Amino acid sequence: MGIEFYGGEENPAAIVIRANFRVQGIKFFSPSSYSQQIGLMTRPAGFKVPAHKHNLVERKIHATQEVLFIREGICTVNLFSEENQISESIKLLEGDVILLAHGGHEVIMETECEILEVKQGPYAGENDKTQLFKNGNDSRK
């Protein structure tokens, strides 16, 4: 286990980078078309990333993608099919990272967790997400 693609490598619904996975240099794992890019960098002491800034580039973002860094604890991320059925169940451990690119998902804390979440803004409030199970009517209970 190191890099895991859920839903295929061309257009994955999720990408997991396990805590013990290593690369030499820099490697990006998300398709270049994704609005959230995720990669891993290993550089030796003394290596310098040249000073730079990012240019203003107009982009159209049609869907929110989020990255979860599991800082402490154990959780399970369930991915859902278009029919709102669990299609994948992914256990994440301390140090693991997941990019949730598209589709329904839920996060269940198996132990107390500290999770750093990163996603695009600005936040769209009520328009930002749709609950899969309205009014708590989750028939899986």
- What does the pLDDT look like over 111-132, one tens digit per residue? 999 999 999 888 888 888 888 8
What integer pLDDT is reported at residue 139 of this predicted model? Answer: 60
Q: Which residues contact 10 (CB under 8 A, 6 or more apart)?
A: 31
What integer pLDDT is reported at residue 1 of this predicted model? Answer: 65
Work out the mean pLDDT of the chain and round it to a whole number.
Answer: 92
Contact 101, 13 (CB under 8 A): yes
Contact 38, 17 (CB under 8 A): yes
Q: Average pLDDT, stretch 96-121?
A: 95
What is the secondary structure of 14-58 as a DSSP string? EEEE-TT---SEEEE-S-TTSSS--EEEE--TT--PPP--PPP--
This prediction's pTM: 0.89
- How is the chain split into domains, by residue range? 3-42+62-136
Please state which CATH class domain 3-42+62-136 belongs to: mainly beta
Which tokens go with 7? 């839903």
